[in-house]
Structure 1
């Protein structure tokens, strides 16, 4: 991949704004465009009197020197994406306020939307860098989305470049970081992309401070998470040890801790530790899910204690749209069960989010994921090629009954997870 000449940062917030402003300052040969759909925020970055939307000591001086030279702020997200060689995804990732993992897990909706936009409008290959504060394996999810939706002439290489800024010293942290982490795949292409980002930081950061682990995951309590997620505990320990804040300054007693990141990161770790017992199911719930089967087992119309009821209830907590098909359960029974399981949701609201179909093929159309909840034989015999063609990509199948030929589905193009088995997406 040739040298990076143009950078786009999606997100003009606390991380993306200062980070890419400093990159523009230190790399005058690179054009840096920071894009955001928030017009007021972009207007503030472009304000004549430099009333920036973020206050950080030294930031105004950086923007004054670089803005208009090689640093630009715009609401034209698509143009920024199309022109860039390298794209930072630096959007908001708040802690979820509802649904599964509420109060602990990160809401990755904005990350997914940005990733899908990159795939939709790109007309050339890109390096895509996750820069938001996100849980591990987010880069893997982004890669899955980009690979499934990319045009034939585009290649996307995904890097993880977590930020370590402290509010109040962000500009100094960027000028003289303890370390910069650039995580990549252990492939030739991954290494080339990693080298490209490394060269950018090397314009002002000593190379010995630029660390390039194969996988980055934010020591005994972490080792189990590393084993489950493919990270290397030695690399984690080394990277953490390079942070001068982990020491007396970090451990000093106080009434608590604040800011936008630390508490969120701890909550994410707690949620990650819990969710790994059911391998990452929460990460795969999407906007439109087909649930095949509603009876508690095949060859009956009985729904008492059916797992499908709990599944749909949890999907509703995630505000997902759900398509249901079962060959024997009558529609009135499904609505009765869901009304009982979701007592705070009016039936009229449920009927807007949940649709019941007369065939499996209809239920799967335009879905992003298919969940096998009942082991009906007819689900094994579906024309899965047709299902795949009519689904959004990447297309997921979750076999909750160990019913399907997973390898056959993978050959078609599906991302398949089988309950009780450790296959990765």
Structure 2
């Protein structure tokens, strides 16, 4: 027997619509959502639906979590595949570690899980985030319990200058949509990178036309006119 909550869908719709993030501000392609609340709230919804006998509803919302995890793994696999199916001992720069801009909150950040996959492939990662400290990044990775702590310390470098992070790297990955990333001197970045120079824009904030003109091999989530297929 199915159970019903007694909710008025018009009231639910009105409540959700009061959040200004819903709409164009929220519906953007990215490497995956993070933060302490969204995933927890969805999992609570899964539990409530299941406890009420609404298994199809529970399965539906659980797929949101599964697809979010898939997106992070897909992004990491794209990097590995594009770099000729191996990132072993190659250096990759991460721009951003926080789960969103203007915060130092790293809980469930997509960057953690992308880094996990690349470290498992023996990549070296250079990280720049304007607010997240090295100690937090190391803790985030160690807390996964899937990586050798010695390898984390060996293969992770955290720097305070974005240009230093991108110096002599094989690829750059945008993991947080920090203001200013798009305005870097990308010509300078290109000149100091290994060639071919790859950029993986996980937040869709870069000027594809300009960076491609400079010479980058560019992949941007949610965009059709990418240079890397």
In the TM superposition, what whole-angstrom CA distance separates every residue of 1:268-306 from its partner, at most 9, and x where no partner exists?
Answer: xxxxxxxxx769443124311001000000000000110
How far apart, CA to CA, are the structure 1 residues paired with 2:129 and 2:151?
A: 21
C-alpha change, 1:377 and 1:395, in structure 2 (3 Å) is same
The 5 A counterparts of 1:58-137 are: none
User: Normalization by structure 1: what TM-score?
Assistant: 0.34
Deviation at 1:404, TM superposition (A): 0.7
- 1:304 maps onto 2:107 in alignment: yes
- Aligned partner of 1:320 in structure 2 is 123
Write out per-residue CA displacement over residues 139-175 of structure 1, whole angstroms, 9 at most, x where no aligned residue: xxxxxxxxxxxxxxxxxxxxxxxxxxxxxxxxxxxxx
Q: Give the structure 1 partner of residue 200 of structure 2.
A: 398
Give CA-to-partner distance per residue, 1:235-276, whole Å, 9 cap, x none: xxxxxxxxxxxxxxxxxxxxxxxxxxxxxxxxxxxxxxxxxx
Give, in angstroms, the shift of residue 318 of structure 1.
0.8
Q: Which runs of 5+ in 2 are unaligned?
A: 1-73
**Is the contact made by 1:366 and 1:390 (CA closer than 8 Å) also made in structure 2?**
yes
Runs of 5+ unmatched residues, structure 1: 1-276
- Quote the offset at 1:360 in angstroms: 0.9
What CA distance in whole angstroms lies between the structure 2 residues aligned with 1:370 and 1:401?
Answer: 13
C-alpha contact 2:116 2:147 (8 A) present in aligned 1: no
Query: What per-residue deviation string (whole Å, max 9, x for no partner) do you get for residues 16-56 of structure 1?
Result: xxxxxxxxxxxxxxxxxxxxxxxxxxxxxxxxxxxxxxxxx
Q: How does 1:220-239 map to 2 (within 5 A)?
A: none
Instruction: State yes or no: 1:283 paired with 2:81.
Output: yes
Give the match for residue 172 of structure 1.
none
Shift of 1:343: 3.5
Q: 1:351 aligns with which of 153, 156, 159?
A: 153
Question: SS of the residue aligned with 2:143?
Answer: helix
**In structure 2, distance between residues paired with 1:295 and 1:284:** 25
Report the CA distance shift for 1:344/1:405 in structure 2 as closer, same or farther (over 3 A).
closer
2:56 corresponds to: none
Deviation (angstroms), 1:315: 0.5
1:370 equivalenced with 2:168 (yes/no): no
Taking the aligned partners of 2:213 and 2:227, their CA distance within structure 1 comes to 15
> What is the rounded CA distance, in whole Å, between the counterparts of 2:162 and 2:104 in structure 1?
16
Structure 2: distance between partners of 1:342 and 1:309: 12
- Asked if 1:360 corresponds to 2:162, the answer is yes
Q: For 1:290 and 1:344, locate their aligned partners in 2 and report how far apart those are by CA, in whole Å.
A: 19
Check whether the contact 1:296–1:303 (CA below 8 A) recurs between aligned residues: yes
Residue 382 of structure 1: aligned partner: 184
Cα shift at 1:349: 2.3
- Which secondary structure does the structure 2 equivalent of 1:377 belong to? coil
* Partner secondary structure for residue 108 of structure 2: coil
Q: Deviations over 1:309-356 (max 9, x none)?
A: 00110110110010011000111111100111254412x321111100
Residue 421 of structure 1: how far off its partner (Å): 2.4
In structure 2, distance between residues paired with 1:299 and 1:345: 31
> C-alpha separation between the residues in 2 aligned to 1:373 and 1:325?
10
The CA RMSD measured in Å over matched residues stands at: 1.7
The answer (yes or no) to whether the contact 1:325–1:356 under 8 Å persists in 2 is: yes
**Separation in 2 of the partners of 1:294 and 1:280?**
19
Aligned to 2:137: 334
2:211 equivalent to 1:409:
yes
Q: TM-score, normalised by structure 2?
A: 0.61
Counterparts of 2:147 and 2:79, CA distance in 1: 24
1:359 Cα deviation after fit:
1.2
* 1:293 alignment partner in structure 2: 96
